[in-house]
Chain A
Amino acid sequence: MPKKYHINSKVTPLNLDYVFKFNIERGENCINCGKCTKVCIYEAHKRRKDDPRKMADPNTVVCRNCFRCIQECPRGALEKSLDKDFLNIGGSYWKSDIFITLWKQAEDGKVPVTGAGYRGPFTGSGFDGMWTDMSEIVRPTRDGIHGREYINTSVELGRKLNHLTFDEKGKLLSKVHDTVDIPIPIIFDLPPDNLSPNVKAALVKAAVELNTCIVLPAGDIASDRKKYIKNIIPLISHKEIDKHQGLIKNTRIVAIEYADELLSNFPAAKDKIKKISNALTIIRIPATKSVETIVSKLTQNGAEIIHIVADYRGREVNGSTDYNRRLLKDIIRAVHLKLIDDRIRDEVTIIASGGIAMAEHVPKAMICGADLTAVDLPLLIALGARLYEEPEKLLIIPEGLEKIPVRTLTQRIINLMGAWHSQLLEVMGAMGIREARRLRGESGRAIFFEEIDNDTFGKLFKKRETVNV
Chain B
Amino acid sequence: MKLAEEFKKIAGDIKIIDKDEEKEMYSHDMGDVPTIMTKILFQIQPDFVVQPKNAEEIKKVLAFATEKKIPVIPRGAASWGFGGVIPTNAGIVIDLSPFRKILYLNKAQKTITVEAGARWSDIDILAKKEGLCLMTYPSSKFSTVAGWIATGGYGINSFRYGHLSNQIDSMTVITPSGQSKKLNPSDPEFNYFVSTEGEFGIIVEVNLKLRDVPQASYSHLFYFESDKEAFMFIEKIIKAGQADALKPNAIRFLDENHLNDINEIMHSKVFKKSAGVLMEFSSSEEDKKFSTIIGQSGNLEEAPRYVASYLWNERLFGMKTKRLGPSILSSESIIPIGSAAGFIEKAKKLGANFGVEIFIDSQIIDTKMALIMTNYLCDSRKFKYYIDLPLAMMLIKTAVSMGAEPYGLGIWNAGFFNYLYDSEKKQKLLAYKAKVDPNNIMNPGKFFGIKSKFFNIPAVVFRPSIFSFSIKILILLSPVIGKIAILLMGKDKKIDSLDFELTTHACAKCGNCIAVCPAYLVTGNEALTAKGKIALAKKIIEGKNVTQEEVENVFMCMHCKACEEICQTNLELMMLWDALEKRIEGKFGRPEDKIDEFLKEVDVSKDYWEMVERNN
Contact = CB atoms under 8 A, between A and B. Distances in A.
Given A74-B615, A74-B616, A31 B558 contact: yes
A31 B566 CA distance: 14
Contacts of A54: 559
Interface in A28-54: 29, 31-35, 47, 52-54
Given A31-B561, A34-B603, A53 B595 contact: yes
A25 to B, nearest CB: 17
Interface string A68-86: 0000001100000000000
A74 B518 CA distance: 14
Given A52-B596, A52-B599, A33 B560 contact: yes
Given A35-B612, A74-B613, A74-B616, A29 B595 contact: no
Given A52-B599, A53-B595, A32 B613 contact: no
Contacts of B558: 31-33, 53
A74 B611 CA distance: 10
Contacts of A47: 599
Contacts of A34: 603
B522 interface: no
Given A53-B559, A54-B559, A33 B599 contact: no
Which one of B555, B559, B595, B613 has the greatest number of beta carbons of chain A within 10 Å?
Answer: B559
Nearest to A54: B559
A54 B562 CA distance: 14
Interface string A363-403: 00000000000000000000000000000000000000000
Contacts of A35: 612
Nearest to B590: A51
Which one of A29, A53, A54, A75 has the greatest number of beta carbons of chain B within 10 Å?
Answer: A53
Contacts of B559: 31-32, 53-54
Contacts of B240: none
Interface residues of A, number: 12
A31 B560 contact: yes
Nearest to B615: A74
A289 B30 CA distance: 89
Contacts of A52: 595-596, 599
Contacts of B599: 47, 52-53
Contacts of B613: 74
B584 interface: no
Size category, B interface: 10 to 19
Contacts of A31: 558-562, 612, 615
B221 to A, nearest CB: 30
A284 to B, nearest CB: 62
A54 B613 CA distance: 18
B557 interface: yes
Contact of B557 (A29, A33, A53, A74): A53
Interface in B151-199: none
A35 B558 CA distance: 13
Given A33-B560, A34-B603, A74 B595 contact: no
Which secondary structure characterizes the binding site on chain A?
loop
Contacts of A53: 555, 557-559, 595, 599
A33 B612 contact: yes
Nearest to B574: A28
Interface in A52-75: 52-54, 74-75
Interface in B542-563: 555, 557-562
A74 B559 CA distance: 15
A52 B518 CA distance: 16
A35 to B, nearest CB: 7
Contacts of B561: 29, 31
Contacts of B557: 53
A31 B557 CA distance: 11
Nearest to A52: B599
A74 B596 contact: no
A53 B558 CA distance: 5
Contacts of A33: 518, 558, 560, 612
A74 B560 contact: no
B570 to A, nearest CB: 16
Interface string B576-616: 00000000000000000001100100010000000011011
A75 B615 CA distance: 8
B564 to A, nearest CB: 11
A54 B558 CA distance: 7
A35 B602 CA distance: 12
Nearest to A37: B603
Nearest to B614: A74
Contacts of A74: 612-613, 615-616
Nearest to B560: A31
Contacts of B560: 31-33
B572 to A, nearest CB: 13
A54 B603 CA distance: 13
A74 B608 CA distance: 12
Nearest to A31: B560
A314 to B, nearest CB: 49
Nearest to B557: A53
B372 to A, nearest CB: 38
B490 to A, nearest CB: 40
A340 to B, nearest CB: 65
A464 B562 CA distance: 64
A52 B557 CA distance: 11
Interface in B470-517: none
A75 B599 CA distance: 19
A37 to B, nearest CB: 10
Interface in B414-437: none
A461 B560 CA distance: 60
A35 B603 CA distance: 10
Nearest to B592: A52
A75 B603 CA distance: 17
A33 to B, nearest CB: 5
B565 to A, nearest CB: 9
A445 B561 CA distance: 60
A45 to B, nearest CB: 14
Nearest to B599: A52
B470 to A, nearest CB: 52
Nearest to B598: A53
B252 to A, nearest CB: 31
A296 B596 CA distance: 74
A347 B380 CA distance: 102
A31 B613 CA distance: 12
A74 B596 CA distance: 23
Nearest to A76: B616
A31 B521 CA distance: 15
Nearest to B556: A53
A54 B559 CA distance: 7
B505 to A, nearest CB: 27
A31 B519 CA distance: 12
B523 to A, nearest CB: 14
Contacts of B596: 52
A53 B613 CA distance: 19
Nearest to A33: B612
Which one of B557, B562, B612 has the greatest number of beta carbons of chain A within 10 Å?
Answer: B612
A75 B555 CA distance: 23
Contacts of A32: 558-560
B48 to A, nearest CB: 30
A52 to B, nearest CB: 6
B614 to A, nearest CB: 9
Interface string A96-116: 000000000000000000000
3 pairs of A and B residues whose beta carbons are closest in the complex: A31-B560, A33-B612, A74-B616
18 contacts: A29-B561, A31-B561, A31-B615, A32-B558, A33-B518, A33-B558, A33-B612, A34-B603, A35-B612, A52-B595, A52-B596, A52-B599, A53-B557, A53-B599, A54-B559, A74-B616, A75-B615, A75-B616
Given A33-B518, A52-B596, A53-B557, 20 more contacts: A29-B561, A31-B558, A31-B559, A31-B562, A31-B612, A31-B615, A32-B560, A33-B558, A33-B560, A33-B612, A34-B603, A35-B612, A47-B599, A52-B595, A53-B555, A53-B558, A53-B559, A53-B599, A74-B613, A74-B615
